[in-house]
Chains A and B, each alone.
Chain A
Amino acid sequence: MIPELGHFALALAVAFAFAQGIVPLWGAYRRDARLMNAAPAIAIGQLMALVVSYACLVWSALVDDFSVLNIAENSHSLKPLLYKITGTWGDHEGSTLLWCLILAGCGGAIALFGRKLPGSLRARVIGVLGATACGFELFALTASDPFTRVWPPPLDGRDMNPLLQDPGLAFHPPILYVGYVGFAVPFAFAVAALLEGRVDAAWGRWVRPWALGAWCFLTGGIALGSWWAYYELGWGGYWFWDPVENASLLPWLTGTALLHSAIVVEKREALKTWTVLLAIGTFSLSLSGTFLVRSGILNSVHSFANDPARGVFILVLLGLVIGGSLLLFAFRAPAMTGSGLFAPISREGALVLNNILLCSITAVVLTGTTYPLFADLLLNTKLSVGAPFFNATVFPLAIPVFAAMALGPMLSWKRAALWPAFRRLWWALLVALAAEMFVVLKMHALPAMAFGCAAWIICGALADVVDRARLFRVPLHDSFGRLRGMPRAAFGTTIGHAGLGVTIAGIAGMSLAVQSIVLVKPGETVHLAGYDWTLEGVRDAAGSNYSARVATIDVRRNGKLVTVLEPSLRTFPVQQMTTTEAAIETNGLRDLYAVIGGEREGSAVLRLHDNPLAPWIWFGALIMATGGMISLADRRLRIGAPARRAVPAIAARA
């Protein structure tokens, strides 16, 4: 009964989405206030239908209803409760339904939080979201229905891939999807603006919080996926330039460009074409990523059950959404003329450079990821484009971004001079050079340069705050006053930029990672990175649906016990798979990392790592997302008007 209810709710959602797509857009076209004002209610209706639908899927998983095919294929009665719930989004059908739920959630969010938007814009935004959602929900209903039944129901399910039965991977999809799908809102804003025929400063101000929110989640989702790979896959790697990873990086890059470009639209009414194109492009990249992963075209470890037939459906959907919006762009964009003129050396100029560089990196990653496909189709040659290519091409483009990041916020709008901006950063440069000197003898050239850049970025971000507070130039009391009056967005910028610096420092630090693969008997000690690692023993353990062999490793430094690591090797009988669980101990500055491989004649194969600055990689991402959240909390963004300045003397450099 419940699965049928879920199926019906999904169908109802399609109906709502269809109405949501047509009614508000027609109302806006006809300037019919009643139709336009119906939009929020329809959006909430769609959201509620999908909440019910998804809840039915979760319920079916919780009660082990194996007559539902999706549950039979992906769940098991012995699977832990947490993974029964999170497993609903661990397969193609369930994750598609989650995607639809979040897309409906976007419409609902505009309905609830977008009350201050002008009626026609709000109606159009909700309308575009509805039309997009209708397409995806139709796909879910017809080609990816999670509620199909199987009869007779099997006695027990086929269990879920053990790799997915893990806290990190359990939460990675929803956070990532809020990021991916969240960019549908800026997309809808862009299409709505093109339909209205107007892109102005107000539009820039309204679109930015939504882009920022989606960006925070996308940053978190990507970081979570990377962290999971680090502790689950067992060899300390965290980014492989795998096609699916690249598919998540592409919208992140253009989303970052969008965030920054929208500032210029808001402040200076310039870069309108760029910003609208970025808004359309970011969501288009999310959608294309989804398509490429689920159709089986991409050769990746993240294989969902690949189905070219489904791929065609999604491709047609993409064609309508992306093609339609780009067609609208081509015809309406000429009407968007910017009024803000600016000199090449200015804050706008720096943001244009930012756009150019980020879009170039996006183009390179996109080319690299899809090149093997095109080469096979058009040239009939088989190529691989792997990590060595991306590392060689992306870093040269990224270094100028890092350099400009600290300088950009120091430049004034419209026309700036480089020298005064540098003068405010003199100490940041010193610290960066000192950091570089510190590591250049230990690291290779590229990581050393990255480490220097990281220091430059972090100090540059701090220099911005220091400068605004006129620290050490006015009495300390005044500085605090200025800091208190500073808009939250300024703190958000500093923290966000500093976060990236922390992540880059972590990546540079990992280049110094040392590892040792050894075959040891209990009682033997290995010396690595100044620590003594002693295998105390290997014992049996069991979980609800697996059996494990757990090793106990004492790590000592100068005789004192630092930590006890317990890596394990888990065997899942139903799926006949083994997974490794690395044991990681972090002190914030480095990770001690141990993995157990097989055992032979009483000895165990151990893989031991010392990873300097590894935790900074994900800590930095957390800081970036926090910075974004702080920016979101800025009153100016929420009420759509500049906040009263507490200290009127602060020049409007913001």
Chain B
Amino acid sequence: MRRLLAMLAARRGRGRLHWTDWASYLHLLLGLLVMFGPVLWLVLSSFKSEAGLIEFPPRLLPYEQARVSVQGYPQPLPVFRITAGDFKGRELAEVRRIGLQAQMLDPASPGEILRVPAQDRERVMRLHFALENYTDLAGRFSFGTYLWNSVFITVTATLITLLINSMAAFALSKYRFSGRDAIFVTILATLMIPPTIILVPNFFIASTLGLVNSPWGVIWPGVATPTGVFLLRQYMLTIPDELIDAARMDNASEWRIYWRIVLPLSAPALAVLAIFSVMWRWNEFLWPMIVLNKSETFTLQLALNSFQGELTTSWNYLLAMTVLTLLPVTAIFVLLQRYITQGIASAGVK
């Protein structure tokens, strides 16, 4: 322990920890608790049974009353430890309870019914991960449909986003033509028109185009993004024009130059935009809520929202669904953290 402290206290340059170092680590540990604790609590809770969830105060880990199967009884019987009286110290299974008396039996000799006062016993708890919260989802609540809707929208929208924004960026970075700067400024100006202020007209346009209750109604409005054009254009400007001139000498068509030369060379910027797009689409909420009204068209986010709004919410399923919804984003984060943080630090966008 002392060595650990010595190691922690060791600092380059100075021998001992300055008060600012203590404050820093305190801040970080508190941060760890506040930022990550709630997510951990969600995951732990999602493995609790319905009975475990309503326990107050809650336990940290998913505990559940032990049950034992006894011949002659169709259901497994709950196990209690006897705390007083003749059977003190023994673990018995409850057959039924009548008022203050409980009829119990010893699983080892199931023929004999023992009578025990109800207050002389306590429940035997054991660790039990309620995996059924997850496995039940497959068959119930059309979870598969919501998952498919979310995946379809995310993947399709991201592919279209990459295609049309890189085409625009290519035109804006590799050609000189009159009106180019005006177009670029116009595209950037759409930053001033966030989706929240055009909800009503966009709903009208979506319904005119027959996109209400269709995944395409969610996909189309967001595929052209000023952020994407900006990010890709800045990157493509760094690709030397000599490469393109050389290809033109070889009689390559302009489309071929875009598709075979510029696009592959822009891979790092495309990757950043792809990650952003996946995050935007997977997490999108307000616009899908307006354009998707039938439950079979819901995305996971909409399903979670409508599910939590019901009066008789089964929190055990809701929590499991929430964990499954945050899983893909978490996986992307763990694998691609460096690209995400660099992308944000350089572009200043989310």
Specify whether A and B are partners: no
Give A contacts to B, CB under 8 Å.
none
